[in-house]
Amino acid sequence: MSADRVEVWWLDVDGVGADQWAELTAVLDASEQARAARFHFDRDRQTYIAAHALGRRLLSAWAGGDPASWRFTIGDHGKPEVISPANGPCLRLNLSHTRGLAAAVLTEECDVGVDVEWLGRDPDCLGLGRRFFAAAECAVLEAAPPQRLAHTFLSFWTLKEAYIKAIGKGLAQPLDSFAFTLEPLSIAFTDTLADDPAHWRFHQAQPNDQHLLALALRHPHPDRVQVELRAMDF
Task: List the domains of the chain with CATH numbers.
Answer: 5-232 (3.90.470.20)
Element (H, E) at 116: strand 112-118
Element (H, E) at 189: strand 185-189
* Residues 61 and 1 sit within 8 Å (Cβ to Cβ): no
Give tens-digit pLDDT for 64-113. 999 999 999 987 777 889 999 888 899 999 999 999 999 999 999 999 99
Handedness of CA 168, 173, 179, 183 (dihedral sign): positive
Question: What's the rounded Cα separation, in Å, for the pair 14 and 124?
Answer: 27
Phi then psi for residue 66, to 5 deg, are -80, 130
Strand duo 226-232 + 5-12: pairing: parallel
pTM of the model: 0.95
pLDDT the model gives residue 1: 56
* Residues 222 and 234 sit within 8 Å (Cβ to Cβ): no
Give tens-digit pLDDT for 171-190. 778 999 999 999 999 999 98
